[in-house]
Amino acid sequence: MASITDPFKYDVFLNFRGEDTRHGFTSYLKKALDDKGVRTFMDDKELQKGEEITPSLLKAIEDSMMAIVVLSENYASSSFCLQELSKILDTMKDKVARSVFPIFYKVDPSDVRKLKRSFGEAMEKHKANSNLDKWKVSLYQVAALSGFHYKGYISIFLLFLFHLSTEIVT
């Protein structure tokens, strides 16, 4: 639990597409952060299509110092992920003592920014959603941030993870 001098309950909020990375990349990331003493929030519930983002999840975003957004092939097909991303950016982007760090998990950052390939296809499927324009802006904004482009090289990822966890702890 956060102390009086620490306004955040969590150091890191993990935002990710469960079907793409929950049982591999993201769970390894969480374990590595936990092992370094980083207070990490990872939603462990599989959400069904059409479910709304819960108030407790919104609160966890607000109670986190930073967010790590794991952008994967099917990320944008989830309206839930996009709702979370918009909340993360509204809460953290350009705020003092808050940060958003994208990880491009086997996707090209320019595909996210320009809504190409699976990201463009997903936006086409969401075209009837009233939040579509906000989600497009959110994807563009997160893709414009400095982050990590993971292409499948585990040794490079481990070096990155060590550096990231050291930065969060200090």
Among 51, 62, 84, 121, the one annotated catalytic: 84
DSSP structural state of residue 11: E
Give dist(CA 170, CA 165) in Å, integer. Answer: 9
To the query of whether residue 62 is one of the catalytic residues in this protein, the response is no
φ, ψ (nearest 5 deg) of residue 46: -85, 120
Q: Is the pLDDT of residue 154 over 70?
A: no
State pLDDT tens for residues 98-138: 999 999 999 999 999 999 999 999 999 999 999 999 999 99
pLDDT the model gives residue 167? 73
Contact 76, 111 (CB under 8 A): no
Q: For the chain, first and last CA: distance in Å?
A: 18
pLDDT the model gives residue 150? 85
Q: Which of 135, 22, 142, 151 is nearest to 92 (CA)?
A: 142
Domains and CATH numbers, the chain: 10-169 (3.40.50.10140)
Could you tell me the pTM of the whole model?
0.89
State pLDDT tens for residues 26-63: 998 999 899 889 999 999 775 555 566 788 899 999 99
Q: What is the dihedral of CA 8, 98, 35, 161, to 10 degrees?
A: 180
Q: Is the pLDDT of residue 96 over 80?
A: yes
State pLDDT tens for residues 16-29: 999 999 998 899 89
